[in-house]
């Protein structure tokens, strides 16, 4: 998870958002976990790192942005 957080942070230094696709998401949150649990874990990860996230087509793509709370 640390590497994923670092990757997202580096992308957000020069962009407004960072898309993370299934191939990367499945390394941290395997597909075989329940969809609702997986989405909740991704949301918790985003919140813990001061980010917001929109999950498109569950399991396909997550778009992270800096949270507006900073």
Phi, psi dihedrals of residue 49, rounded to the nearest 5°:
-105, 15
Instruction: Give this prediction's pTM.
Output: 0.84
Average pLDDT along the chain: 89
Measured at the CA of 31, the angle between CA 55 and CA 34, to 5 degrees, comes to 80
Phi first, then psi: give them for residue 50, nearest 5 degrees: 70, 35
CB-based contacts of 2, cutoff 8 Å, min separation 6: none
Query: What pLDDT was estimated at residue 59?
Result: 61
Are 61 and 22 spatial neighbours (Cβ–Cβ below 8 Å)? yes
Residues 49 and 43: beta-carbon distance below 8 Å: no
Average pLDDT score over residue span 53-64:
84
User: What residues does each domain of the chain span?
Assistant: 2-66
- Mean pLDDT confidence for 16-31: 91
């Amino acid at each position: 998870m640390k590497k994923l957080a670092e990757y997202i942070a580096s992308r957000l230094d020069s962009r407004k958002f960072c898309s993370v696709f299934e191939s990367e998401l499945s390394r941290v949150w395997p597909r075989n976990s329940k969809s609702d649990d997986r989405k909740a874990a991704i949301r918790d990860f985003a919140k813990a790192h001061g980010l917001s996230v929109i999950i498109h087509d569950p399991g396909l793509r997550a778009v992270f942005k800096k949270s507006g709370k900073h």
